[in-house]
């Protein structure tokens, strides 16, 4: 069906009201809603209350909703009366990472600073982009629609989480407990990046994650390396020997069955990614490196977006303090994680890891495993009408065609929504790679905020036109 409401005056309203939008984002940024630190518990709730107030003012039925941890905000807008319009769930999070180390900030993290830089003004504050700035892109789009038309062109439910930065421990239970209420046609998640400041992006591939801690046990207790060295199993020696075999000479992971279900990206995807002109040298230089690493014969974007990996995230054993201790440790441990691509089954991969390690168990050795996470990769069908509508909306705002990109990271909420609510998610966000999320001097380009609001306003019209 086609919408009776026009987006054009809404975009004009976005532009007219933009300085006020910026001011409201700054108000939200002043609330230090750090979810991991109990000292900020009251501030987290204050941010939720603030959002309920704003959404209520835009015609939403909004409320703070309790969870076992920090509360969520849920808000419903009926859309234009009497029409059969799409119903979209918007997801974002209003909690932020801790600001520490404070001494590395150029201005106080919870006193937003507007500074001039290469792309014009930018907002510097904890949460500027992740995810308060991104959340405000759709709230301010709702505001402009509300100001011009007195309503929204579709039915909207908003879900704002307060625990994303602590791993969303209560999100899946909350979704399940409120599945009926949160039902919609599709979810729009605004917590990802644009391709660059002039090129919007929809993320259609996200890698999943399997995280395992493995401990190799050997002697019954720590031994003196003089009395026993050279004649008994040393679990650290053995662990390095085994973990050192994870990759073959071409950088491929050697766990059995690891690549069985890995699909090659389509030629269209490969062509699209090639056209993005990714600068691998700049990517490496940004972290002090020069030399590409990984599977031979593949581009960096292919490796990051379409190939599974195994990284050791932590390792420890024996004496790790100052100076020397001549000990043969009784055990050694490592945390290792695999980024997974869609169709890889985390359980099957886990079985492959265990069998790889167990086949190499030294005589008298014994493994102990703990699994900390197993989420599959996500691939959003590129022929979804909602995705096509979102692309069209982005096309209404940006001169450059929106890029369909992948992400090396994992956003479990997409999987949770599929699991608990049964529908897909569209990942569309407006951050930039250099926004320093989770780091000191996090920033959001004002231009990105502005185009984000315009984009959401335009996407609303396009969704309504479905």
| Residues 426-445 close enough to bind its own copies by CB under 8 A | 433, 436-440
Q: Is the Cβ of residue 54 or residue 161 nearer to its own copies in the bound state?
A: 161
Placement of tokens 């919609």 in the chain = 184
The count of chain residues that interact with its own copies, using the rule CB under 8 A, is 89
Placement of tokens 């167990």 in the chain = 358
Q: Is the Cβ of residue 29 or residue 212 nearer to its own copies in the bound state?
A: 212
Nearest CA-CA partner of 311 in 331, 293, 288, 290: 293
Site string for its own copies, 56-95 (x = CB under 8 A): ----------------------------------------
Nearest CA-CA partner of 35 in 117, 115, 132, 155: 132
Cβ–Cβ < 8 Å for 335, 213: yes
| 15 binds its own copies, rule: CB under 8 A | no
CB atoms within 10 A of CB 87: 19
Tokens standing for 397?
């705002």
CB burial of residue 23 (10 Å; 0-12, 13-18, 19+) = exposed
Site string for its own copies, 361-400 (x = CB under 8 A): -xxx-------xx---------------------------
Q: Is the Cβ of residue 21 or residue 203 nearer to its own copies in the bound state?
A: 203
Show contacts with its own copies in window 162-181 (CB under 8 A).
166-167
| 458 binds its own copies, rule: CB under 8 A | no
Per CB under 8 A, the list member of 67, 83, 196, 237 interacting with its own copies is 237
Site string for its own copies, 112-131 (x = CB under 8 A): --------------------
Q: Is the Cβ of residue 197 or residue 304 nearer to its own copies in the bound state?
A: 304
Placement of tokens 């026009």 in the chain = 6
Q: Is the Cβ of residue 61 or residue 433 nearer to its own copies in the bound state?
A: 433
Show contacts with its own copies in window 137-166 (CB under 8 A).
166
Q: Is the Cβ of residue 50 or residue 211 nearer to its own copies in the bound state?
A: 211
Q: Is the Cβ of residue 4 or residue 227 nearer to its own copies in the bound state?
A: 227
DSSP helix/strand/coil, 412: helix
Calculate Rg over the CA atoms of the chain. Answer: 24
| 342 binds its own copies, rule: CB under 8 A | no
Nearest CA-CA partner of 207 in 192, 197, 185, 195: 192
Q: Is the Cβ of residue 80 or residue 406 nearer to its own copies in the bound state?
A: 406
Per CB under 8 A, the list member of 88, 124, 152, 239 interacting with its own copies is 239
DSSP 34: B
Nearest CA-CA partner of 203 in 377, 418, 346: 377
Site string for its own copies, 199-228 (x = CB under 8 A): --------x-x-x-x----xxxxxxxxxxx
Beta carbon of residue 319, minimum distance to its own copies (angstroms, whole number): 4
Cβ–Cβ < 8 Å for 66, 163: no
Show contacts with its own copies in window 271-330 (CB under 8 A).
283-284, 287-295, 300, 303-304, 307-309, 311-320, 323-329
Q: Is the Cβ of residue 11 or residue 332 nearer to its own copies in the bound state?
A: 332
Beta carbon of residue 226, minimum distance to its own copies (angstroms, whole number): 3
| 41 binds its own copies, rule: CB under 8 A | no
CB burial of residue 323 (10 Å; 0-12, 13-18, 19+) = exposed
Per CB under 8 A, the list member of 137, 234, 344, 425 interacting with its own copies is 234
Beta carbon of residue 126, minimum distance to its own copies (angstroms, whole number): 14
Residues 6+ apart with CB under 8 A from 158: 55, 60, 62, 73, 74, 75, 76, 77, 89, 90, 138, 139
Cα separation, 163 vs 166, whole angstroms: 5
Beta carbon of residue 409, minimum distance to its own copies (angstroms, whole number): 3
DSSP helix/strand/coil, 222: coil
Residues 6+ apart with CB under 8 A from 359: none
Q: Is the Cβ of residue 117 or residue 179 nearer to its own copies in the bound state?
A: 117
Rounded (10°) angle between helices 18-29 and 8-16: 60
């Amino acid at each position: 069906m086609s919408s009776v409401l026009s987006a054009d005056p809404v975009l004009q309203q976005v532009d007219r009201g933009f300085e006020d939008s910026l001011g409201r984002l700054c108000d939200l940024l002043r609330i230090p809603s750090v979810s991991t630190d109990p000292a900020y518990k009251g501030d987290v709730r204050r941010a939720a209350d603030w959002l309920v107030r704003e959404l209520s003012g835009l015609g939403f039925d909004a409320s703070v909703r309790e969870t076992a941890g920090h509360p969520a905000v849920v808000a419903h807008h009926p859309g234009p009366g009497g029409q059969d319009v799409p119903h979209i769930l918007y997801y974002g999070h209003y909690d932020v990472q801790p600001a520490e180390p404070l001494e590395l900030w150029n201005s106080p993290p919870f006193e937003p600073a507007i500074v001039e830089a290469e792309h014009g003004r930018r907002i510097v504050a904890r949460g500027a982009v992740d995810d308060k700035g991104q959340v405000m892109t759709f709230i301010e789009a709702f505001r402009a629609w509300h100001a011009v038309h007195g309503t929204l062109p579709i039915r909207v439910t908003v879900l704002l989480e307060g625990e994303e930065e602590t791993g969303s421990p209560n999100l899946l239970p909350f979704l399940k407990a409120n599945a009926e209420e949160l039902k919609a046609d599709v979810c729009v998640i605004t917590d990802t990046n644009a391709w660059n400041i002039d090129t919007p992006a929809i993320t259609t591939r996200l890698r999943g994650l399997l995280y395992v801690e493995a401990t190799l046990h050997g002697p019954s207790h720590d031994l003196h390396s003089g009395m026993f060295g050279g004649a008994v199993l040393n679990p650290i020696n053995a662990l390095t020997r085994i973990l050192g075999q994870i990759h073959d000479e071409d950088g491929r992971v050697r766990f059995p069955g690891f690549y069985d279900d890995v699909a090659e990206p389509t030629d269209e995807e490969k062509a699209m990614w090639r056209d993005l002109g990714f600068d691998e040298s700049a990517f490496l230089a940004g972290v002090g490196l020069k030399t590409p690493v990984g599977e031979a014969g593949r581009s960096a974007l292919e490796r990051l977006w379409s190939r599974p990996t195994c990284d050791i995230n932590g390792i420890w054993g024996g004496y790790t303090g100052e100076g020397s201790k001549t000990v043969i440790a009784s055990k050694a441990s490592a945390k290792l994680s695999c980024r997974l691509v869609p169709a890889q089954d985390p359980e099957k991969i886990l079985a492959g890891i265990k069998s790889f390690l167990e086949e190499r168990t030294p005589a008298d050795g014994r493994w102990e495993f703990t699994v900390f996470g197993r989420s599959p990769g996500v691939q959003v069908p590129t022929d979804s009408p909602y995705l096509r509508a979102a692309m069209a909306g982005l096309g209404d705002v940006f001169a450059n065609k929106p890029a369909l990109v992948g992400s090396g990271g994992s956003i479990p909420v997409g999987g949770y929504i599929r699991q608990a609510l049964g529908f897909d998610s569209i990942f569309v966000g407006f951050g930039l790679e250099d926004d320093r999320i989770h780091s000191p001097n996090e920033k959001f380009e004002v231009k990105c905020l502005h185009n984000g609001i315009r984009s959401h306003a335009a996407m609303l019209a396009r969704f309504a036109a479905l």
